[in-house]
Amino acid sequence: MTGESTRATCPQWTIGEAAGLPSGPFGLGTSAARIATQFAPSPGQDPAYAYLPWGDGSASPLYCPLVGRVDDGLAAEVDRRLVNWAAGCGFTGKGLEQIAGAGFGRLAMLAHADCDDPDRLLVAAQLNAVWWAADDYYADDSTLGAAPTELPPRLALVMAAMDPVAPAGEFSAPLEEALRADPILVGLHSAIDHLGRHGSPVLVQRVCYATFSMFVSWDAYAAWRHTGRYPPAWEYLAARQHDSFYTSMTLVDAVGGYELAAPFYYDPRVREAMMRAGTASVLVNDLHSVAKDAADEKPVCNMVLQIAADRGCPVEEAVEATVALHNKIVHEFEDGHRELMAVPSPELQRFLVGVRSWMGGGFTWHATNPRYQ
């Protein structure tokens, strides 16, 4: 989903070919100090946005919303609660250590700047943690048991964990046993229950079905891996748009303590804005993951690497193309947001600011997270 390793492996690149990467640390998050300063806004530019340097500063800056709130104490409290919850779901050893070290509580604090309730922020931390765990253990990392041919049936069980099926007599008992045997499934069920204590059934089903749509893209990655038929950049991006941080952004109003009515949420203009925001955020993820992805023995698909493979160009040139695409999408989000400001709905206006805030918080989280350094 939202992690850097959800994509199918991509045979166009080998470790030797990846040597064209800039020497030394590369990618967003290489040094938090390097993003401490930002480029001054241009005349007439919305002060909520700025061109931000990233990585080692050698690439063009990324046009991003600014982070709305940094509260390290609140982040630490959410992370503390998250680790206790994960242990209760059955995560142990390396899996628990990964959740403890990933900073999902910090992501929730940064991305949901309009909420200071640690229990509501915990909902976002929980769901992002188990989405990432499913990505790692089911979709991508073979050392953790991921296998392309096993992914679709595993995801079918995930759907049963998140959106419980009706009882089916004697056939329900083995299903319930399977759902209790895997901490990822336990975690997803628990996180959705927690969401339901803070949001309506409408919000719960919105999150479920955004997740299930994301799984279609995961299955595409698995098929590409299994058959050896890998996508050009345009096809990869089409799949990635439904496997993006849009899924995380479905929680904006639930965590904020309100509900955006369905006619607004599903309005094509609002949905287009959300898809742009999710895609822009996932391009940030691809940009700062490119060195890690290219160095893998079987490099995963990454927008930078896909462009470089399609065009036969150096990675640095593909980085610039990806930055340009990201910045174009963010400017389009900004334009769409400005047009929607004319809609007289306080909830819609708060929601769109929340989506913008998620983008800014996501950038800062990636830039300061050890996972990406």
Q: Give domain limits for the chain.
A: 17-372
Buried (b) or exposed (e) across 200-222, using 16+ Cβ within 10 A?
A: eeebbebbbebbeebbebbebbb
- What secondary structure does DSSP assign to 332-346, as a single string? HHHHHHHHHTTS--H
Burial bucket for residue 167 (CB in 10 Å: 0-12, 13-18, 19+): exposed
Q: What pTM was estimated for this model as a whole?
A: 0.86
Q: How far apart are CA 65 and CA 363, in angstroms?
A: 8
The confidence score (pLDDT) of residue 92 equals: 93
Assess contact for 361 and 52: CB atoms under 8 A.
no
Least Cα distance to 52 among 283, 371, 364, 373 occurs for 364
Structure token pair of residue 58: 């050698």
The confidence score (pLDDT) of residue 43 equals: 56
Q: What is the pLDDT along the chain (373 residues), one digit of tens a residue?
A: 444 433 344 433 332 333 333 333 333 233 333 333 344 455 567 899 999 999 888 999 999 999 999 999 999 999 999 999 999 999 999 999 999 999 999 999 999 999 999 999 999 999 999 999 998 878 776 677 777 878 888 999 999 999 998 999 999 999 999 999 999 999 999 999 999 999 999 999 999 999 999 999 988 888 887 887 878 999 999 999 999 999 999 999 999 999 999 999 999 999 999 999 999 999 999 998 888 777 766 667 789 999 999 999 999 999 999 999 999 999 999 999 999 999 999 999 999 999 999 999 999 999 888 877 6
Distance between the two ends of the chain, CA-based, in angstroms?
Answer: 20
The confidence score (pLDDT) of residue 286 equals: 92
Structure token pair of residue 278: 């999710």
284 SS3 class: helix
Assess contact for 362 and 245: CB atoms under 8 A.
yes
The confidence score (pLDDT) of residue 29 equals: 31
AA letter at 291: A
CA gyration radius, the chain: 20
Fold of 17-372: Farnesyl Diphosphate Synthase (1.10.600)
Q: How far apart are CA 229 and CA 215, in angstroms?
A: 19
The confidence score (pLDDT) of residue 130 equals: 95
The confidence score (pLDDT) of residue 296 equals: 66
